[in-house]
């Protein structure tokens, strides 16, 4: 029995990458999966056996999470890519995107791309605002910062997210294993080497990446007001010193978070964008209560 990861589906078969040697093998699925209604997913860690030049998946190991769009399991982290030059992504969009990802994944890497055409002072300011996260300063065009980013993707399944035009495809293409580099990554399936829209792509040094549209629609309908702060780590960490345990850092007295904003420890833009989401959640909650 061998262990592997499902990276794609192809006409009733799955492609599995062996976890010990990194080799790919086309595998069939045991008939009992269909009988029991078990549906394997890209990202599933499986046990399989080799039969000639193919394999057969015998069992699916427990998943630690499942993303819904696209349907993929066992994601370790998200890589949120932005640009503040061409295009210029407003910090409000950065914060809403990162907060939206935080509802699903705890580990988030932030990549600022196109630093070769961005004013250095603006790059440093961006890095300081988001220092609570791991921030990578990258130029996909020049290759700057790619190796540093790659090291943080090794042995993990990472999903890429971010607005269109910021260079996600270029970054991913520069990370891919040599036999997957296509130079023509499409928006839906990353080019000719894949057989389905949902495929994990192996990167140099180990690890897998996937571009996902699942975080492009930013909605906070499923949150309660007191939960919004959990999407902003620096605000949530500071909340434990507030006078009131249920403080949401808006109008309450004795708010330690507001003190930290005033002295510059918490960036003002982060706090203002937190308040924007908080008020949005409150408004939606109020409408829901009226309907009831």
Note down pLDDT in tens along the chain; length 292 residues. Answer: 999 999 999 888 999 999 999 999 999 998 888 888 889 999 999 999 999 999 999 999 999 999 988 899 999 999 999 999 999 999 999 999 999 999 999 999 999 999 999 999 999 999 999 999 999 999 999 999 999 999 999 999 999 999 999 999 999 999 996 555 544 433 333 333 333 468 999 998 889 999 887 677 678 888 999 999 999 999 999 999 999 999 999 999 999 999 999 999 999 999 999 999 999 999 988 755 554 4
Ranges of CATH 2.40.50.140 domains, the chain: 2-60
Residue in 227, 231, 222, 198 with CA at minimum distance from that of residue 68: 198
Specify the pLDDT at position 177.
Answer: 66
Which CATH number is associated with domain 225-291?
A: 1.10.40.50
Please say whether the structural domain 66-211 has been given the CATH code 1.10.630.10: no
At a CB cut-off of 8 Å and minimum separation 6, what does 283 contact?
none
Whole-number Å distance between alpha carbons of 10 and 266: 49
In the CATH hierarchy, which fold is given to the domain comprising 2-60? OB fold (Dihydrolipoamide Acetyltransferase, E2P) (2.40.50)
Residue in 82, 97, 68, 128 with CA at minimum distance from that of residue 264: 128
Burial class (CB in 10 A: 0-12, 13-18, 19+), 164: exposed
Threshold 0.85, pTM exceeds: yes
């Amino acid at each position: 029995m061998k262990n592997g990861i499902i990276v794609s589906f192809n006409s009733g078969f799955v492609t599995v990458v062996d976890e010990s040697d990194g080799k790919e093998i086309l595998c069939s699925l045991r008939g009992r999966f269909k009988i029991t209604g078990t549906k394997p997913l890209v990202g599933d860690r499986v046990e399989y056996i080799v039969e000639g030049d193919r394999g057969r998946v015998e069992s699916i190991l427990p998943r630690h999470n499942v993303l819904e769009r696209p349907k993929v399991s066992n994601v370790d982290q998200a890589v949120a890519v932005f640009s503040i030059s061409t295009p210029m992504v407003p910090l409000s969009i950065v914060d809403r995107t990162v907060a939206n990802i935080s509802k699903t994944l705890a580990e988030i890497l932030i990549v600022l791309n196109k630093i070769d055409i961005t004013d250095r002072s603006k790059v440093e300011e961006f890095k300081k605002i988001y220092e609570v996260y791991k921030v990578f300063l990258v130029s996909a065009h020049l290759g700057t910062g790619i190796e540093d980013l790659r090291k943080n993707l090794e042995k993990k399944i990472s999903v890429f997210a971010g607005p269109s035009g910021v260079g996600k495809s270029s970054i991913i293409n520069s990370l891919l294993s040599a036999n997957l580099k296509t130079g023509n990554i499409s928006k839906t399936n990353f080019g000719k080497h894949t057989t389905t829209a949902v495929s994990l792509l192996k990167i140099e040094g180990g690890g897998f990446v996937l571009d996902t549209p699942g975080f492009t629609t930013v909605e906070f309908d499923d949150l309660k007001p007191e939960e919004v702060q959990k999407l902003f780590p620096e605000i949530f960490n500071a909340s434990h010193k507030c006078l009131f345990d249920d403080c949401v850092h808006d109008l309450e007295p004795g708010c330690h978070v507001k003190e930290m904003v005033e002295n510059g420890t918490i960036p003002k833009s982060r706090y203002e964008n937190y308040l924007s989401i908080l008020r949005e959640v409150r408004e939606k909650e109020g409408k829901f209560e009226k309907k009831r």
